[in-house]
Structure 1
Amino acid sequence: MDNPSTFFHQQTIFLTGGTGYLGACLLYQLATKLDTRKIYVLVRGSPEQAISQWKKTIPSQVEGILSTKKVQLVVGDVTEPSFGIESAILDEMADTVTVIIHGAASLNWMSSLRETVHNNCLPVLHLAKIASIFKNLTRFIFISTIYASSHLPDGVVEEKVYPAGDAEEHLAQILKEGKVAGGVDGRFASRYAFVKNMTEQLLLARHPKLPILIARPGCIGPAISEPYPYYARGGACPLSDYIERYMQNPDSGIFHVSLLHPAGTNIVDEVPVDIVTNLILLHVMQGTTGVIHTSAESYVPRTLAQLHQDVVDHFPKHNGSRGAEFRYVTDDSVKQGRYAEFWGIGGRDWRFSNAASKRFRSVDGPLSVALGDHDSRQFMKERARRIGEEIIRRRASRVSSKL
């Protein structure tokens, strides 16, 4: 394999979603570890607002990123024509950009289907049109989600597109009526997942000549090491949100699971954000097209029962008492706990293949995904401890403010 730094030193990147959770990790790697020639980062509002956001999430890394002088913040909005980018800058990008990484997305689960399409589908299709005028473009990366395939039954999910009806027809229905025939809820993990599935189909069908890579992360978890250990962001780590909710107000602990996993032995699909980042960039480097997963198979597959044991082990240390024991039931008529409802896919058992990434397991250097002496169980326990400490800190702060 070629040297990653040598490859990226020759690339000019256009990155959207750079102030987000995964986006900030991608930016950090591209700017500070890979010596990328230049990185255009689309930001909403103003450059100052973007920098302020980074100072909250990657405070010790911001200066290093900006000091490279390789990052140009481009003001725009993915919902506007030409992304709201000034024509002179867009012309400059059209002449120089070699790689587009589209990571911008809205993860608001309460958004309507029409709003979700406007935020997560139409911008991708519009960017693909913009990309057609980029003279030196060699790679177009769309960040999707493994749950774009959540309409499938439990079992193996390969790295390919699984259509869920006529995407063009669905898009027309949503834009006109705000819904699709038969509905979405119950068929997919979320409206967001459905829209990602539809977008994958539309992108590939409408732009067959673009060098498209669809990267599907699983549930993204805290970083192992980059940009720093346990780097995370509220609302972007579903498992952390679930653990925190349970730690604050434990409920019945009842979880619906399949007949195949009556003891909660189904795999919970989560992968650290820096492994997701490195795998995407390795595929960028290799010129991969089609679909790839960055899933639990890319890290350490762990079961629902193992996750819950880690939570239970650390619960008394910050709450003073043990929460309810987790119970797994195969009878859907039994009412499950409210947090199990919140995290509706926890009892499912999709096995997301990562066959396309297996060749990278022995890669060394700045994009290594090798785990070395990393202990995933201890990592999860420390994560639970940190969540518990943060809960205590916030409670103490609220009490202090009332005095």
Structure 2
Amino acid sequence: MTADPASQVQDFYRDRSVFCTGATGMLGLAYIVRLVLETPVGHVYAMARGGEKRMWQVCNDYLPREQVEALQKSDRITVFDGDITHTNLGLTDDQIETIRDKVSVVVHAASTVNLVKPLHEVADVIIYSSLAVADFVLSLRNLERFVYVSTAYASTFLRRDMQGNVIGSDAVIKEKVHQLRSIVETAEAELADIRECGTTPEFNFADYLYPYSYAKNLTERLLISRFEKHGQSDRLLIFRPSIIGPAEKLPCPNFEIAGSTPVTTFMAAAIMTPPLSMCFASPLEDPTTATIDEVPVDMVVNRLVVHTAYSSSGPVHAASGRDARVKSETLWLQAIAMRSWWWWRPTGAWTSKDWSAAGVCKLSRLFKVCGCDFVFDQAKSEAVWARMSQGEQETWPFWPTPADEDKNHVLGRERALRLLCDKFASRTCLPA
């Protein structure tokens, strides 16, 4: 680790204790590696189901040996066996007291990424658990920053015009809290509706891409309300990555945990899907303009580390940007080209019908976002980037390296694709 004398990042993390949930997830693991090996952080308390054994197993599976050894020798990581869905996060009283007494930064990265489970099922992991984490965080004696890892797609709900046409699939999403109604207090009413009925009028009114994204949206609003009531709204950072992809460089080139990168999962599903033709739904006037905003995990981690150090608050996007998005058709065609010769190569077509309409392929229903063209505003990252020293910009780059138009997006994903294809081959249907 090389110190930058002009680094606000180094100054912020020096001797500080950090608590991170979801430590064995792709984002959580990449974050911890960078934090321990690139900053003078005092200590990291990492929480993961399966505890220390599971943590080091994942590290050994996905990280270079020298990095694993460096992490173990640092003596700055303590792994807690916990579960966000359990009382007190599944931690012991001593562990709770240690965090409450020593930690000043909490990153809540644990979450389901299941896109098809109904709202009442994802609510347990996303909404209820996040509120429990927040209540605990608000009891910390030296709280400086609570980072809730949401998603840039939390505000990508669609609407219908008077003719029933879907609108909003090509919207520019701002770094603010988007809500269906103007009354903030409806968040608590929506929470009560989910507990009682398993759904809400707001969720049924708007055309959310997934129950997952609505759950993230509601959680954002509930957290804002709770932190405002405690006079701590300036300590809440709602961090919104777009679609997280394999790393460019760190913790190692093409770092990826199979099943954690939606684009790789989409490509694997396209390779393994039996049909000879696939029909994709899109409300866009020209579906061929549909894009995927995938951002390398190391760019996401860099922004997470820096925005926390620079005291950013409220919603902050971490996306690839307008010019770095990839056309959905490109990803599909490159995946189809990987199919074995005896497995056929299906034809593809677009339709303006609803995703649930007859004839729309299951792949389109699972990955609705591939029929959209969202642009995520990144004004806050642009502002922080302008304040960073040259040394910080070199150590913590925000922007993905521009890709050639003819880039093959399969390259670097081969290991994850093989694992996912083998997994799908053992099923009679696409991933749930």
TM over 0.5: yes
Query: Which one of 372, 376, 388 corresponds to residue 352 of structure 1?
Result: 376
The answer on 1:367 being equivalent to 2:389 is no
Query: Which one of 204, 207, 218 corresponds to residue 227 of structure 2?
Result: 207
Query: Which one of 180, 183, 187 corresponds to residue 164 of structure 1?
Result: 180
Displacement after TM superposition at 1:259 (Å): 4.0
Q: Deviations over 1:254-303 (max 9, x none)?
A: 222234324x1122121111111111111011110010111231881222
Is there any run of 5+ residues in structure 1 with no aligned partner, and where?
A: 398-403
Distance in 2 between residues matched to 1:143 and 1:150, nearest whole Å: 16
Distance in 2 between residues matched to 1:331 and 1:93, nearest whole Å: 51
The answer on 1:11 being equivalent to 2:16 is yes
Displacement after TM superposition at 1:306 (Å): 2.9
Q: Deviations over 1:50-70 (max 9, x none)?
A: 322332333633332222110
Distance in 2 between residues matched to 1:139 and 1:116, nearest whole Å: 26
Q: What code does the residue aligned with 1:193 have?
A: S
CA distance change for structure 1 residues 335 and 233 in 2, over 3 Å: closer, same or farther? same
Q: What code does the residue aligned with 1:315 have?
A: M
CA distance change for structure 1 residues 307 and 108 in 2, over 3 Å: closer, same or farther? closer
Q: Is the Cα contact below 8 Å between 2:116 and 2:211 reproduced in 1?
A: no
Q: What code does the residue aligned with 2:157 have?
A: H
Q: Deviations over 1:89-114 (max 9, x none)?
A: 32232222121100011223454433
Counterpart position of 1:190:
210
Counterpart position of 1:37:
42
Q: Is the Cα contact below 8 Å between 1:4 and 1:366 reproduced in 2?
A: no
Distance in 2 between residues matched to 1:158 and 1:245, nearest whole Å: 31
The count of residues paired between Structure 1 and Structure 2 equals 394
The answer on 1:338 being equivalent to 2:362 is yes
Q: Is the Cα contact below 8 Å between 1:268 and 1:296 reproduced in 2?
A: no
Query: Which one of 118, 125, 145 corresponds to residue 119 of structure 1?
Result: 125
Q: Which secondary structure does the structure 1 equivalent of 2:189 belong to?
A: helix
Q: Is the Cα contact below 8 Å between 2:267 and 2:331 reproduced in 1?
A: no
Q: Which secondary structure does the structure 1 equivalent of 2:139 belong to?
A: coil
Counterpart position of 1:93:
99
CA distance change for structure 1 residues 287 and 304 in 2, over 3 Å: closer, same or farther? same
Q: Is the Cα contact below 8 Å between 2:246 and 2:255 reproduced in 1?
A: yes
Counterpart position of 1:315:
338
Q: What code does the residue aligned with 2:195 have?
A: L
Q: Which secondary structure does the structure 2 equivalent of 1:382 belong to?
A: coil
Q: Looking at both structures, which has the greater relative contact order when contacts are Cα pairs under 8 Å and sequence separation is at least 6?
A: 2
Counterpart position of 2:165:
none
Query: Which one of 200, 209, 212 corresponds to residue 180 of structure 1?
Result: 200
Distance in 1 between residues matched to 2:116 and 2:73, nearest whole Å: 38
Displacement after TM superposition at 1:354 (Å): 1.3
Displacement after TM superposition at 1:35 (Å): 3.2
Alpha-carbon RMSD across the aligned residues, in angstroms, is 2.9
Q: Is the Cα contact below 8 Å between 1:270 and 1:296 reproduced in 2?
A: yes
Q: What code does the residue aligned with 1:279 have?
A: R
Counterpart position of 1:47:
52
Q: Which secondary structure does the structure 1 equivalent of 2:44 belong to?
A: strand
The TM-score normalised by the length of structure 1 is 0.87
- Identity over aligned pairs, percent: 25
Distance in 2 between residues matched to 1:192 and 1:248, nearest whole Å: 25
Q: Deviations over 1:382-401 (max 9, x none)?
A: 1466666667888999xxxx
Displacement after TM superposition at 1:377 (Å): 5.0
CA distance change for structure 1 residues 184 and 33 in 2, over 3 Å: closer, same or farther? farther
Q: Which secondary structure does the structure 1 equivalent of 2:321 belong to?
A: helix
CA distance change for structure 1 residues 207 and 340 in 2, over 3 Å: closer, same or farther? same
Q: Which secondary structure does the structure 1 equivalent of 2:80 belong to?
A: strand
The answer on 1:291 being equivalent to 2:315 is yes
